[in-house]
Chains A and B, each alone.
Chain A
Amino acid sequence: MLPETQPLTQEPVPGLPVVAADGREHTLNRASALKFGAAAGLGIAAAFAAVASPAAAAAPRRARGAALSMATPLPGVLDLYINEGYTKMVDDSLVYQRGFGDRPTALRDAKPSLRITPKVFTRDGSIVESRTYPLTAAPPPNGTPLPSGPDAANPGQFLIRRNYWASYFPQRTIIAETGSTVRIRVFNQLAGSHALTFAQAAHGRADITTGPIPPGGEAYLEFPAPYSGTYIYHDPTNAPVQRAMGLFGSLVVLDPQDAWSVAPGQAGFERQWLWVTHAICTTWTGIEAGGGTVDQDADPALPRYFMLNDRSGYEALGHSPNAALNKASHEESLVSGYPRQIDIRDFGEDLVLGTIRAGQMVRMVNAGIANHQIHFHGNHLWTVRRNNVEWPRDFGMVDEDGHVVLQQWEDVVELPPMDRKDCMIPMKRPPDATDQVWFNRTEDWKYPMHCHAEMSQTAAGGMYPGGLVAHWELKSSVNGG
């Protein structure tokens, strides 16, 4: 289906400008207002008032640092505010960033809203704020799914619970259930023109975009949840500059009836992880903070900070003095689980009722500007999809760029900018450890993950390993289990 554009047959409501998915500017009309109302079971008048009130917010170009007020929320509609502010890097320096936030904040706000708390568009037309999904499933303690019990046939290994544990998602995530409708209002609080684009989210992998939103302006997007998978939303203005300034996030589309698979009938998993990489170039942020426009030829990007889910180095590793931050790293990024016997020919295998022989799915997303090489120690990963296209299990091919299209083991996963890959970490016994070492294991085994394009392992030009890093843990029943 093509993204829906607003019909213009009714008389327009003065005020609220709407940029439809085709990029043309429209004005929100009574029919649309009625539709919002109907979707949320509201009275017509209330709905209409709700739509009409932001008319006043067809805002004058605002001065930086001015106080801001939130628009009146519309039921079933997610409001995103394009904000600016300063965020602390892993070396404690403050760097200017932009982002799609939950509420309007000013430049000097101590806690600028530059990324949203995860939101879920449900099939019944509502929006639920939740860091975990499925909404009714149990959140895994500290991010680690607990097994159902020991695997008697395989000493030191465990049986994994099927369709049981929820997964945590990082900030910036929008989840849309298949069959839901994504409805978003975007308010541009900044002095320059910006846009919101969902890359490859329309039928035929076309982009869905608001088109340019002028300073102080706003726009509305409505489209059906695309095919199950991972998408990037971002501001394509002067690409990739505004994305690199922080104007990006992820849209994850999941089938609520088959929520433990990357797509219906495809690779099942115990839990999933969304890993979003991003690189910050302070030359670019400096130019834009000063009101300039980056010229990519004159000012080539030289990233200075490299993030995984908006954290770097010891903060990404959960080794910071901030307990809340460490907890978030464990829940959202630091892959962990109990070892299990799996066969990559069949991720859905269940030998015991309520269990599954499957690993954990890592959805890797590169919203940044550098080519990353995601390397896992301890286990190879089994790559199943790239950019929401499932790779075949037989009769693969080498594509014209020289990449193999066939499900395969990898210990380094190529992740160019805007790419998304779904990779299964099997959480198996590390194959090259001796029997004695394995059978006498008394502690959790922790392995690094890092990008092998090693410039990304730095912060502020040094500080190894201060960049795009994580670790993953094979939990032990003896200690730490």
Chain B
Amino acid sequence: MQQKTPETQFLQTPQLSVNLDVANRKLTFPDGAEFLMWVFHSDTSGRGFPGPTLRPKERDIFHARVEPSMGPHTIHWHGMEPDPRNDGVGHTSFEIEDHYTYQWQPEPGRAGNPNYGAAGTYFYHCHVNTTLHAQMGLLGPLVIDPVVLDGFPVAPGNRRAFADGPEYDIATESLIMMYSVDPRWHSLHHAAGLSGEDVGLNRFEPDHFYITGGLLNSRKEREGAVWAPTELPVNVKGNGKAPSLMRLLDGNYLPNKLYFLHEDGSPARIAELIAHDGRPYRHTTIPGAPAIPTSMLEDPRAHLLTHVVAMGAAERYDVLLRPPEAGTYRLRVEWNHWITGKTLGRRELKLIAS
């Protein structure tokens, strides 16, 4: 159902508010390939990919005013769970023809409680003809920062991954988003397939594979930019800083496999998985007892350390990187076929631990 100017019910004063519009633009990717992309942009971000990083805090009222200038779109805040009107799905609420202000309030965390708290990694994407629109580039990173709880102070230069979670070093916090492009799709029109015509949207055959993202704190959003890292700095244990946090986001439609490797290609068990889909891993054995995050337990066996992470479309992992020694590590990403499992693409990123 399309509505011109649906009303935001019980509108409150926001602590963070953003205007988002949609544009189409040719963008040049790190391998030199150029694609027509559809992107979200804010008043200040310029038209780049992925969309601008949004970073509300728990308990704060968030507003996003969306005025799509090119046909109806919506924004779904993937993993955030507001009421249906603010969930951004056409067939359970409305598609926006003119403008709408989304409003939601990330739930604050509580110490040791596995039932509360939104802090973590999310993303937003258009939910109109989603199969096409998300591949065309209508998505962007969304990070929810935690409230500060008594008993969980935060040192200067640090932040906590979630309210009762571990501290990390803000300067080396990164977002890594897997993305791939099927060039055929990038010549389709806004409503392709919606009238029942066969436009082959069941056939996703990417031949360009990208590790996008980079350091969150030093991202420069600007016109025409594709945000992608060449290498990433990572804190080594004992360098006097909190560990580096890597936020993994699967922004494509194929299963991915990520390997953390030493420079010689041998497995490096340096990735501690601390949260998934915006929710911390916790020990929840005893009813009524505090559910301590795995990353905060003293017992080293509780920590979910690995060198390999499997993830598929739209999943997120929050990873504390714990390289024991300075030097170069490698993050290898594989894209696998969603039916045969055959590896279709492989890309690597250098992690420089110091």
Give A contacts to B, CB under 8 Å: 91, 300-304, 317, 342-346, 349, 369-371, 373, 375, 377-380, 393-398, 400-404, 406-412, 414, 416, 428, 430-434, 436-438, 440-441, 445-448, 450, 452-458, 460-465, 471
Query: Contacts A396-B304, A457-B131: A369 and B193 contacting too (C-beta < 8 A)?
Result: no
| B89 pairs with A462, CB closer than 8 A | no
Residues of the B chain whose Cβ atoms lie less than 8 Å from the Cβ of A465: 91, 130
User: A414 touches which one: B87, B135, B308, B312 (CB < 8 A)?
Assistant: B312
Q: What is the bound-complex CA distance between A403 and B315, given in angstroms?
A: 12
Which of A377, A412, A438, A453 lies in contact with B87, CB distance below 8 A? A377
Chain A residues contacting B198 (CB-CB under 8 Å) are 460-462
Q: In this complex, what residue of B is CB-closest to A428?
A: B115
Question: Which residues on A sit within 8 Å (CB–CB) of B314?
Answer: 373, 375, 411-412, 452
* Most chain A CB atoms below 10 A, which of B83, B306, B311: B83
* A377 & B81 in contact (Cβ 8 Å cutoff): yes
B312 near A430: Cβ-Cβ < 8 Å: no
B339 touches A370 (CB 8 A): yes
Contact of A345 among B78, B192, B291 (CB under 8 A): B291
A126 to chain B, nearest CB (A): 39
Question: Is the interface on chain B under 10, 10 to 19, 20 to 34, or 35 or more residues?
Answer: 35 or more
Chain B neighbourhood of A406, CB < 8 A: 281, 294, 304
Which A residues are CB-close (under 8 A) to B200? 461
Residue B98 at the chain A interface, CB threshold 8 Å: no
Known contacts A349-B287, A379-B81, A396-B304; is-contact A455 B253 (Cβ 8 Å): yes
When the two chains form their complex, are residues B291 and A447 in contact, meaning their CB atoms are under 8 A apart? no
User: Among A375, A396, A462, which residue has its beta carbon within 8 angstroms of that of B194?
Assistant: A462
Judge whether B273 is part of the interface by a CB distance below 8 angstroms: yes
Label chain B's interface by main secondary structure. loop
Q: Is the CB of A345 within 8 A of B288?
A: yes
Q: Is the CB of B104 within 8 A of A373?
A: no
B113 — nearest CB in chain A belongs to which residue? A343
B129's partner among A343, A432, A441, A464 (CB-CB below 8 A) is A464
Asked if B236 lies at the interface with its beta carbon under 8 angstroms from chain A, I say no
Bound together, the chains give a CA A445 to CA B93 distance in angstroms of 10
| Total number of residue pairs linking A and B with CB closer than 8 Å | 241
Minimum CB–CB distance for A153 against chain B, Å: 15
* Sampled A-B contacts (14; CB under 8 Å): A304-B202, A343-B287, A345-B289, A370-B338, A380-B279, A394-B284, A398-B304, A404-B304, A410-B315, A412-B313, A414-B255, A432-B82, A433-B86, A461-B197
B131–A454 contact, CB under 8 A? yes
Which of A371, A438, A448, A458 interacts with B92 by CB under 8 Å?
A448
CA of A441 to CA of B82, assembled, Å: 12
- B152 CB to nearest chain A CB (Å): 20
Interface set, chain B 58-102, CB cutoff 8 A to A: 61, 76-84, 86-87, 89, 91-92
Give the CA-CA distance A309 to B221 in the complex, in Å. Answer: 44
Kindly list chain B residues whose C-beta atoms are within 8 Å of the C-beta of A378. Answer: 81, 84, 87
Are A402 and B258 in touch, CB under 8 angstroms?
Answer: yes
A250 → B minimal CB distance (Å): 21
B321: chain A residues at CB < 8 Å are: none
State the CA gap A469–B159 with chains docked (Å).
38
For residue B61, which residues in chain A have a CB less than 8 angstroms away from its CB? 434
User: In the complex, what's the smallest C-beta–C-beta distance from A424 to chain B, in angstroms?
Assistant: 12
- Contact partner, B202, options A375, A441, A446, A461, Cβ 8 Å: A461
B140 on the interface (CB 8 Å rule)? no
A344, B253: Cβ atoms closer than 8 Å: no
Contacting residues, chain A, for B257 (C-beta < 8 A): 402
Choose among B92, B273, B285 the residue with the greatest number of A CB atoms under 10 Å from its CB: B92
In the assembled complex, B169 has its CB within 8 A of some CB on chain A: no
Contacts of A397 in B (CB 8 A): 304
CB of A401 within 8 A of CB of B284, answer no
Complex Cα–Cα for A394 and B285 (A): 6
Cα A278 to Cα B79 with chains together (Å): 25
Task: For A344, list chain B residues within 8 Å (CB).
Answer: 114-115, 284
For B85, the closest partner residue in chain A by CB is A437
- Tell me the minimal C-beta distance from B81 to chain A in angstroms: 4
A377–B82 Cα distance when bound, in Å, is 9
User: Does A404 contact B276, Cβ atoms closer than 8 Å?
Assistant: yes
Q: Which residue of A lies closest to B80 (CB)?
A: A432
A375-B253 Cα distance, complex, nearest whole Å: 13
Interface membership of B176, Cβ < 8 A: no
Bound complex: CA A288 to CA B269 (Å)? 47
Q: Please, which residues of chain A bring their CB within 8 A of the CB of B195?
A: 462
- Inter-chain contacts of A346 with B (CB < 8 A): 287-288
Cα-based distance from A407 to B287 in the complex (angstroms): 14
B61 to chain A, nearest CB (A): 7
What residues of chain B lie closer than 8 Å to A300, measured between beta carbons?
339-340
Say yes or no: B12 contacts A408, CB within 8 Å: no
Chain B residues positioned under 8 Å from A455 (CB to CB): 131, 201-204, 253, 338
Inter-chain CA distance A410–B258, complex, in Å, is: 19
B121 nearest CB across to chain A (Å): 11
In the complex, the chain B residue whose C-beta lies closest to that of A244 is B339
Q: Would you call B10 and A440 a contact (CB within 8 A)?
A: yes
Decide if B277 is an interface residue (CB 8 Å cutoff): yes
B310 touches A462 (CB 8 A): no
**CA distance in complex: A371, B311 (Å):** 11
- B81 contacts which of A396, A430, A461 (Cβ < 8 Å)? A430
Give the CA-CA distance A19 to B309 in the complex, in Å. Answer: 42
A458 and B131 form a contact (CB under 8 A): yes
Q: Do residues B277 and A432 form an inter-chain contact, with CB atoms below 8 A?
A: no
For B84, the chain A residues whose CB sits under 8 A away are: 378, 445-447
* B residues near A416, Cβ cutoff 8 Å: 255
With contacts A378-B87, A454-B134 taken as known, whether A396 is within 8 angstroms of B281 at the C-beta atoms is yes
Determine whether the beta carbon of A401 is less than 8 Å from that of B310.
yes
Contact of A445 among B10, B80, B83, B130 (CB under 8 A): B83
CA distance A457 to B56 in the complex (A): 30
B155 within 8 A of A: no
CB distance from A391 to the nearest CB of B (A): 11
B174 within 8 A of A: no
Nearest chain A CB to B226's CB is how many angstroms away? 21
Q: How far is the CA of A455 from the CA of B291 in the complex (A)?
A: 38
Task: Report how far A300 CA is from B304 CA in the complex, Å.
Answer: 37
Q: Does any Cβ of A come within 8 Å of B199's Cβ?
A: yes
Contact of A462 among B104, B135, B193, B313 (CB under 8 A): B193
Residues of chain A within 8 A (CB-CB) of B254 are: 453
In Å, the complex CA distance between A434 and B14 comes to 12
Most A CB within 10 A of own CB, among B82, B135, B254, B258: B82
Across the interface, which residues of B come within 8 angstroms of A446, CB to CB?
A: 84, 92
The answer to whether B103 has its CB under 8 Å from any CB of chain A is yes
Smallest CB–CB gap between A434 and chain B, Å?
Answer: 5
